[in-house]
Amino acid sequence: MLMNNHDYLKRLLSVGLVCLTVLMVLVGCEKGQLSSALVIDAKTGKQIYTLQLDIWYDPNAVLSVYHADIRVDEEYIGTVEQGFRFTESLKLDEGAHWLQFNKHGDPSVCGKTMVKMKEDVILTCSLKGYLSEMEVADKKITPLHPEPATAAESVTEAVTLPPEETQESTALEKEATASDESSQSPERRYILNTNTHRFHNPDCQSVKKMKDKNKQEFYGTREAAMDEGYQPCSQCNP
């Protein structure tokens, strides 16, 4: 009876070990894949994606001659003039985000549209400003993927490069990295918006309007904030 129990325990233990090993291998693989492609927000635990904005403000001179302020989840991103194009790259959490457009300095004249982030995308649309509203026209969302043909070309290029040239370019890259490090800005206090992934000077107007749950203090260099996946605010230029 004692012997049987011992055998049973041994078998149980070995089955347990096999399961644990399989689990560790699986987790290991997953982690390897994660680190190469995915960026996870440390605070929310959500995947971060890139939203490339390409907005054209249609001239509509008869009715209005104003600029349009662009906000993402109520944070100011920039201003676009009629007849001009606005392009900007944003880092956003997965899920739904609101893009709001309003008459410069007048939030009562506005329009908005929602973008659901589940991959890197380009939002192309045109704005039309009227006396009482801002219309978002021709909204188009397309995936932002590197073209496979370009990737194949660059691989071929890398393979056919003579060894000296490869070494030279590596040296140049090292030099560039070194000079980047030497030109780093001083450490100071910034305010992060963990939702729109922008960082601000503490006295920026956007900071005052920011929701508390999206606000986070950061102490470090400008480059360190950017390494964390944050982009400088276009209003206060931190």
Q: Name the residues that contact Zn ion, by CB under 5 A.
A: 200, 204, 206, 233, 235-236
By C-beta, is 102 or 193 nearer to Zn ion?
Answer: 193
By C-beta, is 72 or 136 nearer to Zn ion?
Answer: 72
13-16: long-range contacts, CB 8 A cutoff, minimum separation 24 = none
The distance of closest approach from Cβ of residue 57 to Zn ion in the complex, given in angstroms and rounded to an integer, is: 22
Residue among 40, 49, 44 nearest 119 (CA): 49
Residue facing Zn ion at closest CB distance: 233
The distance of closest approach from Cβ of residue 215 to Zn ion in the complex, given in angstroms and rounded to an integer, is: 12
Q: Is 126 exposed, middle or buried (0-12, 13-18, 19+ CB in 10 A)?
A: middle
By C-beta, is 48 or 236 nearer to Zn ion?
Answer: 236
DSSP secondary structure of 205-216: HHHHHS-GGGEE
DSSP secondary structure of 103-120: ETTEEEEEEEEEEEESS-
By C-beta, is 128 or 200 nearer to Zn ion?
Answer: 200
By C-beta, is 72 or 233 nearer to Zn ion?
Answer: 233
Contacts for 169 with CB less than 8 Å, ≥ 6 apart = 161
The distance of closest approach from Cβ of residue 80 to Zn ion in the complex, given in angstroms and rounded to an integer, is: 17
The distance of closest approach from Cβ of residue 179 to Zn ion in the complex, given in angstroms and rounded to an integer, is: 27
The distance of closest approach from Cβ of residue 209 to Zn ion in the complex, given in angstroms and rounded to an integer, is: 10
Strand boundaries in the chain, DSSP class E: 48-58, 68-72, 75-80, 85-93, 95-103, 106-117, 121-129, 134-143, 188-193, 198-200, 215-220, 231-232
**Cα(32)–Cα(118) distance, rounded to whole angstroms?**
21
The distance of closest approach from Cβ of residue 235 to Zn ion in the complex, given in angstroms and rounded to an integer, is: 5
**Cα(164)–Cα(49) distance, rounded to whole angstroms?**
38
By C-beta, is 121 or 204 nearer to Zn ion?
Answer: 204
